[in-house]
Amino acid sequence: MRPASLDEGKLLAQLREMGAVGRTPEGGRTRHAASDEDGEARDLLVRWMREVGLDVRVDRIGNIFGILAGENGRLDGACMVGSHIDTVTNAGALDGCYGVLSGLAVARAFLTEGVRPKRPLIVAAFTNEEGVRFQPDMMGSLAFAGGISAEEALAATDDEGRSLGSELERIGYAGEEPLPIATPGEYLELHVEQGPILDGEGVQIGVVEGVQGIWWWRITVRGTANHAGTTPLALRHDAGHAAARIVTFLREMAKATPATLATVGTMAFRPGSINVVPSEAVFTVDLRDPERACLLAAEEKIAVFTARVAEEEEVSVVMDQLVRFDPVSFDGGLLDLIEQAAAEKGFSSRRMASGAGHDAQMMARLCRSAMIFVPSRGGVSHSPAEHTEDDQLIRGAEVLLRVVSRLICP
């Protein structure tokens, strides 16, 4: 026996309620990892998991798991579904929450229809997927998959010097379960596309074949502070100008390569005064490409250009790599199952790659993994304007239910 349907109204209502946690005046929500707002969203999720009858556990890195027991009584080999509930600044309501709450909706379908699966179902909410406050991103799933030790992850600090470990303790989510709590048989993540492809083509379901590589750096340029009105251009060691040259170079480099994307999302000058030549510029670089060879080539070009700028501007340039996640391919068998489930439901689908990073990309190190996408209106995400129609959200959850049912109720 398999569950027949899920409670659509409940899923949509929970997405709205979770989306109200951490509201911003701009109409978005901000729930950086291990902040008060993240704590509030976690409390809500844990309450919902318990209400539905899941056994809730929290591991050392604050990952939350809602467990639905299987016939065989073992956690290893469980089917895991999930995503994250932390957000970027001023985010939409769906990025991450959609996968977690759809996972919960699937578990609820099993419990309300009294279906006991052969293997357990674990609904996971991973800590710090976004990586806004603590780096690296996808930290909870990375630690789960053994890519970083719990100690190293918990020691990561934010801009104010507070550690993830102390912040998790403060909000009550420094758990005790080991990493990983179990080795799943497979991991499935349902997510909004966050890009324009499905919406543009009018396709209902994305069968995600893999995730492009994501490399991050912090670049620090150091020059000399000096008077803006008295220092001739030729005598300046202007960290701000040198940084601007590198930023422009990154865009030109990306433009000249078919699939490379380069983004400078943060920058700060010191001393940060209108009439002072900057002595220091610190900025971040987010570099992405589906091909590792292209990332390596871009890294080399950036190194050569920054060395040139350092020499010409008589400044120093230091590149610290924060993240080096290579491209990942998902499991072919799971992709077939997703495609088949979409076809059985009468939904149109297409295979595609993910431009955004996801916990599934870390989980693929540990077990068979795959993702399901639904369209994002206009391809907008990481913005309060992120939107997916309710009927689309339900279609994605129905595909997830079908795939999970097939896997754990064979």
Instruction: Give whichever of 156 and 315 is closer to Mn ion, judged by the CB atom.
Output: 156
Minimal distance, residue 181 CB to ligand GLV, in Å: 23
Cβ partners under 8 Å of residue 119, min gap 6? 70, 71, 72, 77, 78, 79, 185, 407, 408
Distance (Å, whole) CA 396 – CA 388 = 11
In DSSP terms, 68 is beta-bridged to: 121
Distance (Å, whole) CA 51 – CA 396 = 23
- Tokens read off for 377: 């209106």
In DSSP terms, 147 is beta-bridged to: none
Instruction: Give whichever of 137 and 280 is closer to ligand GLV, judged by the CB atom.
Output: 137
Among ligand GLV, Mn ion, none, the one that 357 touches (CB under a kind-dependent 5 to 8 A) is: ligand GLV
Instruction: Give whichever of 59 and 359 is closer to ligand GLV, judged by the CB atom.
Output: 359
Provide the CA 220 distance to its chain's centre, in angstroms: 25
**Dmax over Cα atoms in the chain, in whole Å?**
81
DSSP state of 229: T
Q: Interface mask (CB under 6 A) for ligand GLV, residues 123-152, using x and -?
A: -------x------x---------------
Q: Interface mask (CB under 6 A) for ligand GLV, residues 192-231, using x and -?
A: ----------------------------------------
Distance (Å, whole) CA 146 – CA 250 = 32
Radius of gyration in angstroms for the set of CA atoms belonging to the chain, rounded to a whole number: 23
Minimal distance, residue 405 CB to ligand GLV, in Å: 29
What are the two backbone dihedrals, phi and then psi, of residue 339, each rounded to the nearest 5 degrees? -60, -40
DSSP state of 376: -
- When asked if residue 357 is in the footprint of ligand GLV (CB under 6 A), the reply is yes
- When asked if residue 313 is in the footprint of Mn ion (CB under 5 A), the reply is no
Do residues 61 and 155 make contact, with C-beta atoms less than 8 angstroms apart? no
- When asked if residue 359 is in the footprint of ligand GLV (CB under 6 A), the reply is no
Distance (Å, whole) CA 129 – CA 384 = 18
- Beta strands 55-58; 349-354: pairing state: unpaired
Instruction: Give whichever of 279 and 376 is closer to ligand GLV, judged by the CB atom.
Output: 376
Minimal distance, residue 164 CB to Mn ion, in Å: 18
Q: How many CB atoms lie within 10 A of CB 299?
A: 16
Do residues 42 and 23 make contact, with C-beta atoms less than 8 angstroms apart? no
Interface with Mn ion: number of residues (CB under 5 A): 2
Helix (H) or strand (E) holding 79: strand 79-84
Minimal distance, residue 27 CB to ligand GLV, in Å: 19
Instruction: Give whichever of 193 and 280 is closer to ligand GLV, judged by the CB atom.
Output: 193
Instruction: Name which of residues 272 to 301 contact ligand GLV (CB under 6 A).
Output: none
Among ligand GLV, Mn ion, none, the one that 85 touches (CB under a kind-dependent 5 to 8 A) is: none
Among Mn ion, ligand GLV, none, the one that 209 touches (CB under a kind-dependent 5 to 8 A) is: none
Choice from 139, 179, 352, 356 touching ligand GLV (CB under 6 A)? 356
For 62, half-sphere exposure in the C-beta direction (CA atoms, 13 angstrom radius) is 31
Among ligand GLV, Mn ion, none, the one that 96 touches (CB under a kind-dependent 5 to 8 A) is: Mn ion
Among Mn ion, ligand GLV, none, the one that 86 touches (CB under a kind-dependent 5 to 8 A) is: none
CA nearest 103: which of 125, 118, 120?
125
Among ligand GLV, Mn ion, none, the one that 327 touches (CB under a kind-dependent 5 to 8 A) is: none
Minimal distance, residue 243 CB to Mn ion, in Å: 26
Interface with ligand GLV: number of residues (CB under 6 A): 4
Choice from 62, 66, 96, 375 touching Mn ion (CB under 5 A)? 96
What are the two backbone dihedrals, phi and then psi, of residue 177, each rounded to the nearest 5 degrees? -65, 145
Among Mn ion, ligand GLV, none, the one that 117 touches (CB under a kind-dependent 5 to 8 A) is: none
Q: Interface mask (CB under 5 A) for Mn ion, residues 45-84, using x and -?
A: ----------------------------------------
Do residues 205 and 402 make contact, with C-beta atoms less than 8 angstroms apart? no
Encode burial over 246-258: b for 16+ CB neighbours within 10 A, e otherwise. bbebbeebbeeee
Among ligand GLV, Mn ion, none, the one that 99 touches (CB under a kind-dependent 5 to 8 A) is: none
Minimal distance, residue 129 CB to Mn ion, in Å: 6
Distance (Å, whole) CA 194 – CA 199 = 10
> Which residues here bind ligand GLV, judged by CB under 6 A?
130, 137, 356-357
> Which residues here bind Mn ion, judged by CB under 5 A?
95-96
